[in-house]
Copies of this chain bind each other. A is one copy, B any other.
């Protein structure tokens, strides 16, 4: 007799991405498929110094069990880091450290979602959010976006229609969309949360990766302008994209009662986030290395984003449409089908593999009503030359004749 699994597993389907990643092993392939930063950008020396300091100055704390809420010196450093991003009056006790911001999503699901509850997300949104919430039985509702982020009028109609348990947004340099919610829309979204008394989750792993001007303040930073919004707002931060994913350091700011419940759930999920990683991150932040690291990362990714944008215009011309990103890791593009060329991202992705370049078609990022013409292209992990070569290959793939399958 086989093992009988829990019903919740039937909610989730991961084959789309698995299929793709199987193809990435092909030799010589240039990959725009990843959702991760470039390993070459990691401040290895800074982290080595930080971890050595942690083991020298506080070996007991760095190696022993720790508080589920997080290692207090790291909570203090993270609160100070947020203060530097215009978040007023954030006490260390108002955030908990999570094992990457993925765990914050899991804790929100565990804490808030009953089977059948509705959750509104952007269409498209982060794939692992969709799957994470579905494992708790959420029914996902897709809110349309444009280059300025979620369309607020449509969002309000969906809130009224579905009475969701929460609204989940990536307002700044969204994954996969690259879109950034405008300042005006940020205020309106906060007002909507208050008006309809719905929990609003701001996932913000990319906000520090801007290329020119800083993006508008986070919803968390703006929440003091909208009375009552802070009591409904959750903000998820992460060191993964700006420092190193391998530390698995994220954090969650939330109203006190929600934070207490999430902490209780975390206690039974992993007891606490690695104190070794937490003490290392705390030492790193305290050493004041973050501003220089951020400056370096921004400059490199800005150059790569520009190289990719230029190459796309040059090589794919009117076959593709996109808005040049102002930050983050991704270009979100749409095939136009102009001149009878391929207009399906999944089809182009398959042909692109044959040409030696990989990317993720946009389809799986939609929880409903996918736009099959879309693509997500990461410019983070290849240098400008490889990016240009990869886009040349994409151009070739776009020009290939349709082969009857």
Contacts of A273 in B (CB 8 A): 99, 248
A64 touches B244 (CB 8 A): yes
**Distance of A105 Cα from B268 Cα, bound (Å):** 8
Determine the residue in chain B with the shortest Cβ distance to A279. B246
A268 touches B131 (CB 8 A): yes
B59 touches A42 (CB 8 A): yes
A4 at the interface (CB under 8 A from B): yes
Q: CB < 8 Å: which of B4, B14, B59, B100 contacts A264?
A: B14
Determine the residue in chain B with the shortest Cβ distance to A13. B264
A143 at the interface (CB under 8 A from B): no
B48 touches A246 (CB 8 A): no
A112 touches B5 (CB 8 A): yes
Which among A2, A100, A267, A270 has the greatest number of chain B C-beta atoms within 10 A? A270
A55 at the interface (CB under 8 A from B): yes
A247 at the interface (CB under 8 A from B): yes
- Cβ distance A402 to chain B, nearest Cβ, rounded Å: 34
Contacts of A273-326 to chain B: CB distance below 8 A = 273-277, 279-280
Determine the residue in chain B with the shortest Cβ distance to A71. B246
**Distance of A208 Cα from B309 Cα, bound (Å):** 57
Q: CB < 8 Å: which of B5, B261, B274 contacts A247?
A: B274
Contacts of A1-24 to chain B: CB distance below 8 A = 1-9, 12, 14
A111 at the interface (CB under 8 A from B): yes
Chain multiplicity (copies): 2
A106 at the interface (CB under 8 A from B): yes
Contacts of A64 in B (CB 8 A): 36-37, 39, 42, 244-246
Contacts of A274 in B (CB 8 A): 99, 246-248, 274, 276-277
B271 touches A248 (CB 8 A): yes
Contacts of A232 in B (CB 8 A): 3
Determine the residue in chain B with the shortest Cβ distance to A62. B246
Contacts of A276 in B (CB 8 A): 47, 51, 244, 246-248, 274, 276-277, 280
B132 touches A268 (CB 8 A): yes
A9 touches B65 (CB 8 A): no
Q: CB < 8 Å: which of B5, B48, B267 contacts A261?
A: B5
**Distance of A77 Cα from B309 Cα, bound (Å):** 44
Contacts of A55 in B (CB 8 A): 44, 47-48, 51
Contacts of A106 in B (CB 8 A): 268-270
- Cβ distance A360 to chain B, nearest Cβ, rounded Å: 15
- Cβ distance A25 to chain B, nearest Cβ, rounded Å: 13
**Distance of A60 Cα from B44 Cα, bound (Å):** 9
Instruction: Kindly list 8 other residue pairs between chains A and B, CB separation below 8 angstroms, not including A7-B114, A8-B110, A276-B276.
Output: A3-B199, A9-B265, A47-B55, A52-B52, A65-B246, A100-B270, A128-B271, A245-B275
**Nearest 10 interchain pairs by C-beta:** A246-B275, A39-B60, A63-B244, A132-B268, A63-B246, A99-B270, A44-B59, A248-B274, A65-B245, A1-B197
Can you spell out 14 A-B residue pairs with CB atoms less than 8 angstroms apart?
A: A12-B264, A14-B264, A36-B64, A37-B64, A39-B59, A51-B55, A63-B244, A64-B244, A64-B245, A99-B270, A99-B274, A105-B268, A244-B276, A245-B271
